[in-house]
Amino acid sequence: MPHSLLLRMPAAGEDSGEWLGIDATGLPEATRQRGPLSLAAAVGSSADVIVLVPATQILLAEPELPPGSGVKLARAVPFALEEQLTEDIDQLVFALGKRRPGGGTPVAVVGRTVLQGWLSTLSDAGIEPTALYPDMSLLPLNPGQTVLWLEGSRLAVRRPGKLPFAVELTPVKEALIVAGVIADPFAEAGAGAGEDPLGEHAILYLTREDWAKVEDEVQEVADQFASLKIQLLPDGPLPWLARSVAGTDAVNLLQGEFARTTDYGARWRRWRTALALAGGLFVVHVAADAVQLHQARQETAAIDTEITQVFSSAMPAEPMHDPRQQMQLRLERIRHSGAGPELFLRALQAFSSALAVTPKITIDSLSYNQGSMEMKVTAPSLAELAQLAKIVGKQGLTADIKSSTPNAAGVEAHLQVRTAGPVTQR
């Protein structure tokens, strides 16, 4: 969607306008569109709509106004322009631009009914414009040339550093004379022979269709210019005017009672897609966190189950309350026992080596206390138990078979492993 939409009001008696999108950098889109205003409203539903209205119905002036601003300055405008006004000031709307460094203030004057008619037409089509500019106010400034824009019978003129104005007259020669661009031959004759008219350096913009109509007329007066360059507009004037929108100092007619109020609905329409995407991302983020939390809880439950199983295997005779804490306390007792943890580790290492030789023997439970390791094992036979005790004995420890009971797997035995020496009586 375009950031802004530049719309040209339909000519009197026409229903179709033309428009062009402008991106966020101020560059116009490549293709202009034409159609009913309702279609333009749909295209620019989320964009700022800038409307160009016919400047032939607008007076542009630059009077010197007294210091001030706001209502006080607006009240001074009709008096500063009273010699140029032909209608009752109550029937006119005055719009002000920014005061120039030289002291003048751009002013646009339009009939109240004319402005109301434009706004009514736009509103009926569903368009709420951000700004209304006189179309010729977007004529580009050229510091070295007079810019001319011919469209049909209207000639718009903008001299360097001056406000644009328009003359609606045919033929072209007469329009150029009235605009003061070329000399009036009758005025020249009256001024006296031998006085050359002053020519201007100018550039004329027009469409191919208009050029085909006036080419001969323009060639006829070309020698009355100091220089004249013809610039055709193959895509019409709208793309050309659109290039001036970003840096324009044009006077917006929507001021005072016609100033546009904040349209929160339009702002919502502009941002709703981005907000919907942001909301979707937030939901996805929350869902991902919920999944991770669920996985973490499952992993915690699995770890707790494993701890319980290890506890039951290591300390089958001890009631289980808090397996983690109970195992920690048992390790602390081992660490502070008289023989120290070295004996415990040494016994584990000895048994690991012995079990590697007698892999059919399994340990059912194991405990360590007071320098002695007690364990219950299951072996295929007493001979294998004796071999296990012998292997452990070769590593400087004593493995005593305290008891044995036949079972379906062979023999279940109670072994006591300690350092070599007399048995500690308990």
Per DSSP, 396 falls in state T
By C-alpha distance, which of 12, 31, 54, 11 is closest to 242? 31
Please identify which residue in the block is written with the tokens 């033929």: 171
By C-alpha distance, which of 399, 394, 395 is closest to 418? 399
Assess contact for 422 and 385: CB atoms under 8 A: no
Q: Rounded to whole angstroms, how far apart are CA atoms 340 and 368?
A: 11
pLDDT at 34: 92
User: 253 — alpha (psi -120 to 50), left (phi > 0) or beta?
Assistant: alpha
By C-alpha distance, which of 410, 384, 353 is closest to 401? 384
Q: Give the H or E element holding residue 229.
A: strand 227-232
N residues, the chain: 426
Please identify which residue in the block is written with the tokens 């542009």: 60
Q: Rounded to whole angstroms, how far apart are CA atoms 234 and 26?
A: 21
CB 111: neighbour CB atoms within 10 A?
Answer: 15
By C-alpha distance, which of 63, 92, 66, 75 is closest to 258? 92
Per-residue tens of pLDDT for the chain, all 426 residues = 568 999 999 877 777 899 999 988 888 887 889 999 999 999 888 889 999 999 988 999 999 888 877 777 888 888 888 888 888 888 999 999 888 888 889 999 999 999 999 999 999 999 999 999 999 999 998 999 999 999 999 999 999 988 999 999 999 999 999 999 998 887 755 444 444 456 899 999 999 999 999 999 999 999 999 999 999 999 999 999 999 998 888 999 999 889 886 554 555 555 667 778 888 888 888 888 888 888 888 888 888 787 777 777 766 767 887 877 877 787 777 666 555 567 777 777 887 888 888 888 888 888 877 677 888 989 998 888 888 888 888 888 888 888 888 888 889 999 888 876 554 444
Domain 1-139+244-261 has CATH 3.30.43.10: no
pLDDT at 424: 44
SS3 category, 288: helix
pLDDT at 193: 43
Residues of the chain within CATH 3.30.420.380 domain(s) are 1-139+244-261
Q: Rounded to whole angstroms, how far apart are CA atoms 54 and 60?
A: 12
Q: Rounded to whole angstroms, how far apart are CA atoms 132 and 8?
A: 10
pLDDT at 178: 93
pLDDT at 227: 94
Q: What is the CATH number of domain 141-235?
A: 3.30.420
Q: Rounded to whole angstroms, how far apart are CA atoms 405 and 421?
A: 26
The pTM is what?
Answer: 0.59
Residues of the chain within CATH 3.30.1360.100 domain(s) are 323-419
Domain 323-419 has CATH 3.30.1360.100: yes
Partners of 148 in the β-ladder? 157, 204
Report the helix count and the strand count for the chain, using DSSP H and E.
11, 17
**Tokens for 73?**
């300055």
Sign of CA dihedral 19, 24, 25, 26: positive
Q: Which residue type is seen at 275?
A: L
Q: Rounded to whole angstroms, how far apart are CA atoms 106 and 137?
A: 11
Q: Rounded to whole angstroms, how far apart are CA atoms 67 and 170?
A: 42
Please identify which residue in the block is written with the tokens 């333009």: 40
| Strands 107-111, 58-61: pairing kind | antiparallel
Assess contact for 140 and 112: CB atoms under 8 A: no
